[in-house]
């Protein structure tokens, strides 16, 4: 598993996270601490894009784990955008977003195609 998170712009408004390969939920949450460290000291709105290139989620129900992910993010994260073209990733995300399209003051989105991601970022006024 590889999880890489980095600032996508110099204004520190967007973080891109890329997940590749098989991963466990323990590894996933271990990397969440890195993301929280990146957000320390930031006092403006931040958008996070999570690009999941893995074939599927780890064993176990992803819904409570995704809920925990959103709960762990600080208040300056105003939108969390999941991006994946993989059906076994998108299906549970659709279920999660159907129930929690807005959670803890954060807007949650799922996009499957690059052009949809670009359109959403423009609509949210985030530089693509």
* pLDDT in the model for residue 106: 82
Q: Which domain holds residue 88?
A: 2-24+44-123
**What is the four-CA torsion angle of 113, 128, 92, 79, rounded to 10 degrees?**
-150
Residue 92 in any domain: the answer is: yes
Residue 90 in any domain: the answer is: yes
pLDDT at 127 exceeding the cut of 90: no
Number of domains making up the chain = 1
Per-residue pLDDT tens over the stretch 86-101: 999 999 999 898 888 7
Q: Tell me the C-alpha distance between 126 and 4, whole Å.
A: 20
In the DSSP assignment, the letter for residue 37 is H
Per-residue pLDDT tens over the stretch 4-21: 889 988 888 899 999 999
Residue 18 in any domain: the answer is: yes
Residue 19 in any domain: the answer is: yes
Residue 38 in any domain: the answer is: no
Q: Do residues 39 and 76 touch, judged by C-beta distance below 8 A? A: yes
pLDDT at 72 exceeding the cut of 60: yes
Residue 57 in any domain: the answer is: yes
- pLDDT band with cut points at 50, 70 and 90 for residue 1: low
The phi, psi pair for 17, rounded to 5°, reads -120, 135
């Amino acid at each position: 598993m590889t999880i890489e998170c980095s600032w996508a712009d110099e204004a520190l408004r967007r973080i891109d996270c890329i997940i590749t390969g098989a991963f466990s939920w323990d590894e996933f949450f271990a990397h969440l601490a890195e993301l929280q460290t990146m957000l320390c000291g930031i006092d403006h709105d931040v958008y996070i894009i999570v690009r999941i290139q893995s074939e599927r989620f780890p064993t176990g129900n992803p819904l409570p784990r995704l809920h925990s992910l959103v709960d762990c993010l600080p208040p300056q994260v105003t939108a969390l955008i999941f991006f994946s073209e993989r059906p076994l990733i998108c299906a549970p995300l659709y279920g999660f977003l159907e129930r929690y399209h807005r959670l803890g003051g954060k807007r949650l989105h799922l996009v499957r195609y690059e052009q949809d991601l670009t359109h959403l970022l423009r609509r949210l006024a985030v530089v693509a």
